[in-house]
A = this chain, B = another copy of it.
């Protein structure tokens, strides 16, 4: 029904998360409205991303350099290390602009039900980094929930002998959200971790 190249483009857009037939069609038709320059940039950037982006050998963040620009930045505080389950979150934190330490990205979280065990998430490189570098605090910035909790507890246990502070991001009621929309687990945690009004 569609011309071949249009059909292929629609199929390509369906690779994207959450994109079904209708949206893919809308996207493909919108490409026909773009300048040739824009389409070239779009097409080339797809190939460039796959060819140039890899994981930083030190912190596991996505980068197009030999060593990512955070690892090679000597002006950053190398005493505190923020640990993520996914390299997307590094960019989220950098955008926030409130953390000046270094980062480390694991290959996911421990999840025995999914067959992901402690040896599968790249803890070895985190531990050797902590042993080699002069790190005073690691901040575990995992998503809340059973997998994040398990991974945090496991890391706490294996690093117990080293004299470093291990913290997690606070859980609680999101700012500006009405109490009635907050789930009961979050409310329970918010109550448990309540802070003194100063």
Contact = CB atoms under 8 A, between A and B. Distances in A.
Given A44-B43, A46-B39, A52 B12 contact: no
A143 to B, nearest CB: 16
A158 interface: no
Report the interface size class on chain A.
35 or more
B39 A47 contact: yes
Contacts of A45: 5, 8-9, 11-12
Q: How many copies of this chain does one complex carry?
A: 2
What secondary structure prevails in chain A residues at the interface with B? helix
Given A9-B49, A31-B50, 20 more contacts: A6-B49, A6-B62, A8-B45, A8-B49, A9-B45, A9-B46, A11-B41, A12-B41, A12-B46, A15-B30, A15-B31, A15-B38, A15-B42, A25-B88, A31-B49, A39-B49, A42-B46, A43-B43, A43-B46, A43-B47
